[in-house]
Structure 1
Amino acid sequence: MTESTIKKREVKVFLDKDISTLNTFRTLTLFGKNAATYKFALCHALLKQNGQTSELRYEDLQESFLRELVKHYKNNPHQFSRRENSLTREIDLYLASERTSSDWSRLSTAASKNIFNDVFRAYQNVGSGTLAKSYMLFEDQRKHKKITMTDRLLSVLENNQAKQIISNENQAR
């Protein structure tokens, strides 16, 4: 089992006091970088999955993730503190457009080039470190452009009440 590399004591204490998957999501939401708009979008996109299979291809997650990313970026631009990049420029163009299906298609095509560059690897980083393998929600198989959802994440996807709690807490941020 891979040990946690979390360096911030208060984050490690918060995570370890309750080993539930709900608390893992809380830890990522509360202590992950608030400037990381992608974390909120990825959380919602993951919660929309049905959990019928543990493997999820990047392309199958893109539409949901991009819609959530645009929505969160539009409502909380201050949470994206990184400098402008090709994706944010495309999102800004889309938000300034009439938002037709053609505009969405253009955004989606542009986003497909780099939307998942570091998202999966960074999502489970918190407190200047990475979650222990026992807390992981998924494993990124970047080479194959897919993730494998762990039993922890799959158990949440089967529990509508847990999904709603996580979604509400994530949206409040």
Structure 2
Amino acid sequence: MSEFVSVEPSLENQWRAIILFGNNVASYKFALAKSLYDLSGSSNDLITLEKLADPFSKHICEHLAHSPKQATSPSSKFLEECRSFSNGITSTDELIGQTVKLGFNNVIDAFHNVNRSEVPQRFFIDERPSNGGIRLTDNFFKLAESFQFNSMNEETEARWRLVEEGWKMGVARSLIRVDADPQLDQLFTQDDKRRRVTITSCRSSLNGYQKGRCFYCYGNISVNSSDENLADVDHFFPWAIGEIIMHINGVWNLVLACKDCNRGVGGKSARVPTLNLLARLHKRNEYLIGSHLPLRETLIQQTGNNEVARKSFIQKQYCTAKELLIHDWEPPIRGIITF
């Protein structure tokens, strides 16, 4: 799995590795990351637990409202306090006090761990014993100044929603399936009454792999809806042959593309991406399979139970597309190669 995470351990890649591959015993990692986004404009690098507790508990309570399961353990005193607050039993001051006491016991220690080891560079230092909080490092402030920082909040939210859905459907893991609606930019599943349940944004879920780069040309893209270079959700194998490509709207066939590559002059249009790009798609799908539920199960269902089967699947789709559409396509590199 490590070969798919990053070639170079940049700060952005290390942060994304924490969000994508850190342990998910509870959702506190996501709440802590989102709290740090909220506090990124602080003039003080020391963030006391009291200050951190406000956004941290807020994010947990917001998610409890739509996803009651926020941890794999059967009970949690901290989550019970959050539920009491949401039910009007606990006051804001009481919730902050209980968050300081109970909410950070494990997440601060475990935050930087990926695959049982720490990432090379830390984004905060634990100073709870000496100063009652955490101290943000220069690495975090450099991250906050990066072009991709605005997209990371949405990526974290998307990842949180996917993990929640995996927990929610964990009783029947083999049946978990996430479908995609590229036109509405939504990932969704269905409940036991076959009703469509929206999970999160396609863009935010896919951008963790592409690291803010177009899948085809590596040009800069964004998942922030207000940005000029907002990414398109693109069908790798064109929608024009959707009747003969299996699971054309499946996550396996969706990538983020810049507008030039997707619909500009000289863009892909209804041509078939080259074998070089096909190999890139396979590598991306294997990366997503190496992540946690539910995308893993969905991709396995759509493309095959093992890597050999999955390679055979996309090769077959390629041959089918090439026989019909004839022309292939690959754009010039316009940015830094990051995946």
Same fold per TM (> 0.5)? yes
Aligned residues: 157
How far the C-alpha of 1:158 sits from its partner, in A, is: 3.3
1:142-162 CA-to-partner distances (Å, cap 9, x unmatched) read 212221211110112334x43
Moved over 3 A (4+): 13-16, 73-79
Equivalent residue, structure 1, for 2:151: 165
8 Å contact kept, 1:40–1:72: no
1:103-133 CA-to-partner distances (Å, cap 9, x unmatched) read 333322332322222221111112122223x
Report the RMSD for the aligned CA atoms in angstroms: 2.2
Gaps of 5+ in 2: 160-339
8 Å contact kept, 2:61–2:83: no
Specify which of 99, 104, 117 is matched with residue 111 of structure 1.
99
Equivalent residue, structure 2, for 1:42: 32
8 Å contact kept, 2:50–2:96: no
8 Å contact kept, 1:28–1:123: yes
How far the C-alpha of 1:87 sits from its partner, in A, is: 0.9
8 Å contact kept, 2:35–2:56: yes
Measured in 1, the distance between the counterparts of 2:7 and 2:65 equals: 35
Q: Percent identity?
A: 25
Specify which of 136, 148, 166 is matched with residue 135 of structure 2.
148
Counterpart amino acid of 2:30?
Answer: F
1:62-87 CA-to-partner distances (Å, cap 9, x unmatched) read 11111112223333333411231211
Gaps of 5+ in 1: 1-9
Counterpart amino acid of 1:39?
Answer: K
Equivalent residue, structure 2, for 1:6: none
Q: Does 1:60 align with 2:46?
A: no
Measured in 1, the distance between the counterparts of 2:4 and 2:126 equals: 25
Secondary structure in structure 1 of the residue aligned to 2:134: strand
Secondary structure in structure 2 of the residue aligned to 1:114: helix
Secondary structure in structure 2 of the residue aligned to 1:17: coil
Measured in 2, the distance between the counterparts of 1:62 and 1:138 equals: 16
Equivalent residue, structure 2, for 1:75: 66
Question: For residues 23 and 43 of structure 1, do their structure 2 counterparts lie closer, same or farther at Cα, with a shift above 3 Å needed?
Answer: same
Q: Which has the higher helix share?
A: 1
How far the C-alpha of 1:46 sits from its partner, in A, is: 0.4
Question: For residues 147 and 116 of structure 1, do their structure 2 counterparts lie closer, same or farther at Cα, with a shift above 3 Å needed?
Answer: same
8 Å contact kept, 1:56–1:148: yes
Measured in 2, the distance between the counterparts of 1:17 and 1:51 equals: 32
Structure with greater Cα Rg: 2
